[in-house]
Amino acid sequence: MTPYAAWAELEAAARRDADARIVDQFAADPDRLSWMTLDAAGLHLDLSKQSWTRTGFEAALSLARACDLESRRAALFAGEAVNSTEDRAALHPALRAPAGADFHALGAPVSAQVDAVRAEMKLYAEAVRSGIETGASGRAFKTVVHIGIGGSDLGPRLIWDALRPLDPEIDLRFVSNIDSRDMAEALTGLDPETTLIVAVSKTFTTHETLVNAEAAKAWLAAALPAAGLDRHFIGVTAAPERAAAFGCGRVFGFNDWVGGRYSLWSAVSLSCAIGLGWQTFQGFLDGAAELDRHFLEAPMERNAPVLMALAQIYNVDGLHRPTRTVAPYAHALRRLPAFLQQLEMESNGKGVRRDGSPVGRQTCPVVFGEPGTNGQHAFFQQIHQGPQVVPAEFVIVASTDGTSSESPLWANALAQGQALMQGKTEVQARAELIASGASDIEADRLAPHRTFSGNRPSTAILMPRLTPRTLGALIALYEHKTFVEGVIWDINSFDQWGVELGKVLARAVLKDVAAGEPGPGLDPSTAALLTRLLR
């Protein structure tokens, strides 16, 4: 079957499924729960509350096969130039593979280099934690300030929030915003003698990161002798010569085949390895590697990233639902929605195919979310009773502290998925009002306001506990889901040209700021705003 024919089949199936109620499918197909739930790398997935019937699901699988997903998956792991616009591999699985693996990028072996950098990271992290590695005055480091933006910030920040001890031996603070307030908050209360700065930038030219790194260097220089200043400054980059020229005492490298939003498995997360300890960081890598094996080996109909991707494509393109919410029911995963915004929207927010022709359909949905139960008191009103259908994902941790039951937390997650699917009819709402003592007139008036249409899809991802391994598996699951979607939409998930235009224009605006007036190339609106800001 051609991709064109498979798309037509999926769209036809979705039109039929649009009128089918999810809750009725469990009676119509008694096996639904078994073929729509699976376990992978310590995660349990339940997609049985998705909108497809079995026919719709089979149409989605046919589409994946028609798009040659299996060979594209093989190309990813083989290190071929899947990033076609930059002629690069996208080989993040190599970064979490066990020592001694044999990955190649564009034919060149890379695993030995990955192992060497990982060993260097381990030695340095352990030296900092043990006090062997010290600052200029010989005192042990107590705080790491991690400077980065985008993929150099969101991934490590998610790892730290998810796995940090309540009272860490070495604290970790993050700076990403060019607003000086961000740096001021991070440095407040710190002792320069016991503070280590880790500046992360793939090219070491990122404007926001360099401005913040200069501010941090000036803060250190005001309190420390010049001779030992570089012991407090570490660079993580694919351009080591630039980091050394900047004044970094040590530089940890990674390759250009590591995309920023896929780089948290590399030296980009050195700060986390220091703050958490190497054993914890290694467990994080191991969990992702286990999910990699699942993605490579499981048949498509039992493959977690494939099913997650197909559910989204069915919603977005089949049923025209251009948004999705992610609600992690664990405070430690509060940064997950922000991380997924970059992972998915920067990867797949594209309007042209790999050959440069228009896509002609919706690609990545708008992703948003908040931790449960906070989101229930904010935007859940919209997803329950608003006119738009917003598919939801609930990430549920059975025990978030490892000692006590978290049933009030995850009971809310289960109830939200149930409510989205079942809804409540006006007849039911009216009967409840009458039972509570309302008059017939009052019940008639209020029942429409207490009616829920239901039939709104959701996916649940469960884990017994949030551990380094389950966190690694969860992130790898979403990475591979994003890749599968890109294959089916026939787009390049590994470039991000949409990020660049604004950065280029910002440099031009800064020249106008230095000149004290708008330049001739500015449009009237931007020129007027700049003039007002220059007053």
Whole-number Å distance between alpha carbons of 198 and 7: 47
Please tell me what DSSP assigns to residue 352: B
- Whole-angstrom distance, CA of residue 179 vs CA of residue 313: 38
Q: Is 346 annotated as catalytic?
A: yes
Catalytic residue among 169, 241, 503, 517: 503
Exactly one of 214, 241, 377, 500 is catalytic; which is it? 377
| d(C-alpha 331, C-alpha 314), whole Å | 30
Phi, psi dihedrals of residue 194, rounded to the nearest 5°: -120, 20
- At 198 the three-state DSSP class reads strand
Contact present, 161 and 334 (Cβ < 8 Å): yes
Whether the Cβ atoms of residue 151 and residue 482 lie closer than 8 Å to each other? no
Whether the bond into 237 is cis, omega within 30 of 0: no
**503 annotated active-site:** yes
* Start-to-end C-alpha separation, the chain: 64
Tokens 């940064």 belong to 335
Output the 3-class SS for 96-119.
Answer: HCCCCCCCEECCEECHHHHHHHHH
Residue 269 DSSP code: G
As given in the structure block, the two tokens for residue 241 are 């010569």
Give yes or no for a contact between 194 and 135, defined as CB atoms under 8 angstroms apart: yes
Buried b (16+ CB within 10 A) or exposed e, 186-210: bbeeeebbbbbbbbbbbebebebbb
Which of 133, 346, 479, 485 is an active site residue?
346
| 58 within 8 A of 64, measured Cβ to Cβ | no
For the residues of 115-132, what is the DSSP string, one character each? Answer: HHHHHHHHHHHHHHHHTS
| C-alpha–C-alpha distance, residues 218 and 229, integer Å | 10
Residue with tokens 């294959």: 487
DSSP per-residue codes, 7-42 = HHHHHHHHHHHTTS-HHHHHHH-TTHHHHTEEEETT
The H or E element that residue 399 is part of is: strand 392-399
Contact 222, 216 (CB under 8 A): no
Q: Which amino acid is at 100?
A: G
C-alpha–C-alpha distance, residues 28 and 53, integer Å: 9
Q: How many angstroms separate the CA atoms of 49 and 27, rounded?
A: 13
Is 133 a catalytic site residue? no
Q: Is 261 exposed, middle or buried (0-12, 13-18, 19+ CB in 10 A)?
A: buried
How do strand 143-147 and strand 250-253 relate by DSSP bridges? unpaired
Which residues carry out catalysis?
346, 377, 503
